[in-house]
Amino acid sequence: MAVDIKSLPKKALRDTYGEVLVELGKIDPDMVVLDADLSESTRTHKFHEAFPDRFFNVGIAEQNLIGIAAGLAYTGRTVYASSFAIFLSGRPWEIIRQQIAYNKLNVKLVASHGGVSVGQDGASHQMNEDISLMRTLPNMNVIVPADSVEMEKVLKKIHWIKEPFYVRMSREKFPIILPADYEFELGKGYVLKEGNDVSVIACGVMVSMALQAAYELEEEGIDVEVINMSSIKPIDRELIVKTAQKTKAVVTSEEHSIIGGLGSAVAEVLSEECPTILVRHGVEDRFGISGPAWEVMEELGLSVEGLKKKIKQALDKKSKC
Amino acid sequence: MRDIQQLKEIARQLRIDIITMVYNAQSGHPGGSLSAIDILTVLYFGGFLRYDPTNPWWEDRDRFILSKGHASPALYSVLAKAGYIPHEELNTYRKTKGYASDGYSRLQGHPAWQGNRHGTPGAEASTGSLGQGLSIAIGQALSGKLANKNYRVYVMLGDGEVQEGMVWEAAMFAGHHKLDNLCAIVDNNNLQIDGDVRQIVNIHPLPDKYRAFGWHVIEIDGHDYNQIINAFEEATNTKGKPTMIIAHTVKGKGVSFMENNFKWHGVAPNKEQYEKAILELSAGGV
């Protein structure tokens, strides 16, 4: 059975974010939302329109953004702070560490424009290191939803968990691949397709590409297991070991550097629990380039074809090992 | 009326606590603690800060944030005097073991928020990495306004700390939002770790800068009790603007050989120096 991901309905996660913020705002009067002059792009402007008193635009000042978010959280409020991934996680990283992480504050850092699919803005705006930066912080949870269905489930789940979260979205519309009754569980991966030859553990937009690659490779007689690992921290150690024991070859796939992100997180688990052939698919140790989103993705190998190559590499290594 | 002699006597005892803590730990920052302590004494014991040490989470309490967190001995001595922590706990400053639920110290090298596992009751934020306290104070002040609470938020910065860019992001925001429930104090002791603030990177004229950012600015001698009291009264009565009190202070104030010497920023006294300091402070009693 072949599925063309291009034919699936698509939605940008940030559109869902804006809608869900308003829903949550109606039921949680203590909630506040902050942005740093990118509210139309992150879609927090939806919350601004609905609840003008509970929205603060701090201007182009991301350090102050995090400091104010912390101050609000110290008084017991649930706080959302948004900007592009590069400015939300990179610029104020040390303040996130000292305030949000160290004190385990109830602040949800929701980043848009993660990864190279930011496209034409170029390398300066393409954040490929944020999962790495956030994952290393004690107390920080890191989530990279695969589609807008999952985005909604994630927000509605973590809103009520009084801990720090980093939720990472990309700019572009993602194909909707998860069923409407899908339930997100913190620390759990989700098997989208079972397979026996090789496992692909992916997050974000690469989950839909992994599904496409799996169906295309099925025609070549390769049986791929596809796992959505949206919860990168905490990560589903049990599922990683289980799939590795079954297929004995793992490929990780992410719109992020192959250093420090999902690939590294999976490598840590496998090295400790069940050493297995591992190929990391993502942005190599390099900066991106300007261009239309999907062209840049393609150039950097973040495509179905690019992933299929990595899957075949993993199978090749497995046969020689 | 406030009894200034009584406040001065409290400050004298707190200076002894500060020097003793740093001596016991053989680590810490005496200079900037001694420059700040008169202001903190007036704030906590002169009737300005509204708090209840038996209920540190009282929602309507005023907040004080020590943004220049290296002056933690000043804060801890005040919190002990106020009744948040037992006086003998001061001996656990910068030590591994202490009074936290897991057996570690609640008096970390730099303050940890009271909700932190190793935080101090009465500490309103984790600080020490400079430049962050003003933004945190803004968040707390905004939250109070949103909830129609009339609590006030006080935050103390060092003058060297004002070199941090984040301080100016915060200054701009507070002025723009006319946060009159916010009062910041700069402990302007003229010295930072490497030397004279005016020679390293000059921050002055500070009053003009804050006025330009929309603040009500008051300049005082930070060791003159009448001036400190009047400044806090003026800040409380100032509407439509945040207030910045620029307090001119002496680093190491009260211990002759520490005064105005940047080498006492982050150094503990040896036994001889400790005894000399205690002798001076004891003789200074009223």
Q: What is the pLDDT of residues A40-63, one digit of tens each?
A: 999 999 999 999 999 999 999 999
Nearest to A64 among B141, B146, B170 (CB): B170
Same domain, A111 and A156: yes
Q: A171-187: string of b/e by CB count within 10 Å (b at 16+)?
A: bbbbbbbbeeebebebe
Report the gap between the CA of B166 and the closest CA in chain A (Å). Answer: 6
Three-state DSSP class for residue B17: helix
Which residue shows structure tokens 């390398």? Answer: A123
Q: Which of residues 124-183 of B touch A (CB under 8 A)?
A: 124-126, 128-129, 131-132, 134-144, 146-147, 165-166, 169-170, 172-173
Residue A123 belongs to a domain: yes
Residue A200 belongs to a domain: yes
Residue A43 belongs to a domain: yes
Q: Does A54 touch chain B (CB under 8 A)?
A: yes
CATH of the domain at A248: 3.40.50.920
How many folded domains does chain A comprise?
2
B142 to chain A: closest CA residue: A72
Q: Is the pLDDT of residue B285 over 80?
A: no
Q: Which domain holds residue A231?
A: 190-320
Residue A51 belongs to a domain: yes
* Residue in B108, B136, B138, B179 to test binding to A, most A beta-carbons within 10 Å: B136
Q: Taking the C-alpha atoms of B155, A94, B188 and B285 in order, what is their torsion angle to the nearest 10 degrees? A: 70
CATH topology of domain B4-283: Rossmann fold (3.40.50)
Between CA A115 and CA A122, with CA A121 as vertex, the angle to 5 degrees is 65
Q: What is the pLDDT of residues A245-260, one digit of tens each?
A: 999 999 999 999 999 9
Q: Is the pLDDT of residue A316 over 90?
A: yes
Same domain, A234 and A154: no
Q: In whole angstroms, give the CA distance from residue B168 to residue B186.
A: 13
Q: What is the pLDDT of residues B5-45, one digit of tens each?
A: 999 999 999 999 999 999 999 999 999 999 999 999 999 99
* Chain B residues in contact with A58 (beta carbon < 8 A): 169, 173
**Binary contact (A102, B112; C-beta < 8 A):** yes
Q: Which of residues 181-240 of B touch A (CB under 8 A)?
A: none
**Binary contact (A72, B140; C-beta < 8 A):** yes
Same domain, A93 and A139: yes
Q: Is the pLDDT of residue B286 over 80?
A: no
**Binary contact (B173, A32; C-beta < 8 A):** no
Q: Is the pLDDT of residue A2 over 70?
A: no
Report the gap between the CA of A204 and the closest CA in chain B (Å). Answer: 32
Contacts of A99 (CB under 8 A, 6+ apart): A66, A67, A69, A70, A105, B125, B126, B132, B136
Q: What is the pLDDT of residues B105-136, one digit of tens each?
A: 999 999 999 999 999 999 999 999 999 999 99
Q: Are A106 and A163 in contact (CB under 8 A)?
A: yes
Question: What confidence tier does B2 reach under pLDDT thresholds 50, 70, 90?
Answer: confident
Same domain, A58 and A138: yes
Report the gap between the CA of A81 and the closest CA in chain B (Å). Answer: 12
**Binary contact (A64, B166; C-beta < 8 A):** yes
Paired strand residues for A167: A110, A143
pLDDT at residue number B283: 87
Residue A226 belongs to a domain: yes
Mean pLDDT (whole number) for B244-255: 98
* Chain B residues in contact with A33 (beta carbon < 8 A): none
B59 to chain A: closest CA residue: A75
Q: Is the pLDDT of residue B254 over 60?
A: yes
Same domain, A133 and A48: yes
Three-state DSSP class for residue B200: helix
Of A149, A175, A201, the residue at which a domain comes to its end is: A175
Q: Are A203 and A146 in contact (CB under 8 A)?
A: yes
pLDDT at residue number B110: 98
Report the gap between the CA of B2 and the closest CA in chain A (Å). Answer: 31
Q: In whole angstroms, give the CA distance from residue B16 to residue B110.
A: 19
Three-state DSSP class for residue A178: coil
Question: What confidence tier does A4 reach under pLDDT thresholds 50, 70, 90?
Answer: confident
* Chain B residues in contact with A53 (beta carbon < 8 A): 146
- Active-site choice (A40, A49, A62, A254): A62
Q: Is the pLDDT of residue B78 over 60?
A: yes
- The helix (H) or strand (E) run that includes residue A189 is none
Q: Which of A140, A136, A168 is nearest to A260 (CA)?
A: A136
Report the gap between the CA of A117 and the closest CA in chain B (Å). Answer: 30
pLDDT at residue number B65: 98
Contacts of A220 (CB under 8 A, 6+ apart): none
DSSP B216-255: EEEEEETT-HHHHHHHHHHHHH--SS-EEEEEE--TTTTS
Residue A4 belongs to a domain: no
pLDDT at residue number A1: 45
If you average pLDDT over every residue of chain B, what do you get?
A: 97
Question: What confidence tier does A5 reach under pLDDT thresholds 50, 70, 90?
Answer: confident
* pLDDT cut 90: percent of chain B above it: 98
A286: number of Cβ within 10 Å: 10
Same domain, A38 and A169: yes
* Biggest alpha carbon–alpha carbon distance for chain B: 54
- The helix (H) or strand (E) run that includes residue B109 is none
CATH of the domain at A152: 3.40.50.970
Same domain, A240 and A166: no
Q: In whole angstroms, give the CA distance from residue A206 to residue A254.
A: 6
CA distances for A151 relative to A145, A204, A217, B86, B149, angstroms: 6, 10, 28, 48, 35
* Chain B residues in contact with A67 (beta carbon < 8 A): 132, 134-136, 138-139, 166, 170
Q: Are A135 and A260 in contact (CB under 8 A)?
A: yes
B170 to chain A: closest CA residue: A64
A61 to chain B: closest CA residue: B169
**Binary contact (A73, B136; C-beta < 8 A):** no
Residue A305 belongs to a domain: yes
* Residue in B60, B143, B155 to test binding to A, most A beta-carbons within 10 Å: B143
pLDDT at residue number A313: 98
Of A175, A209, A227, the residue at which a domain comes to its end is: A175
* Chain A residues in contact with B123 (beta carbon < 8 A): none
Of A175, A207, A228, the residue at which a domain comes to its end is: A175
Active site residue A62: yes
**Binary contact (A70, B139; C-beta < 8 A):** yes
> Torsions phi, psi of A46, nearest 5?
-60, -45
Same domain, A15 and A148: yes
Q: Are strands B153-158 and B63-66 parallel, antiparallel or unpaired?
A: parallel
B94 backbone φψ class: left, alpha, beta (φ>0; ψ -120 to 50): left
Q: Which of residues 65-104 of A touch B (CB under 8 A)?
A: 66-75, 77, 94-95, 98-99, 102-104
Same domain, A111 and A223: no
Mean pLDDT (whole number) for A71-93: 98
Is the omega angle on the peptide bond into residue A234 within 30 degrees of 0, that is, cis?
yes
- Structure-block tokens of residue B237: 């009565």
pLDDT at residue number B1: 55
Domain ranges in chain B? 4-283
Contacts of A14 (CB under 8 A, 6+ apart): A41, A42, A43, A112, A169, A171
Report the gap between the CA of B6 and the closest CA in chain A (Å). Answer: 33
A51 to chain B: closest CA residue: B146
Same domain, A221 and A245: yes
Residue A78 belongs to a domain: yes
pLDDT at residue number A314: 98
**Binary contact (A71, B136; C-beta < 8 A):** yes
Report the gap between the CA of A128 and the closest CA in chain B (Å). Answer: 25
Mean pLDDT (whole number) for A204-215: 97
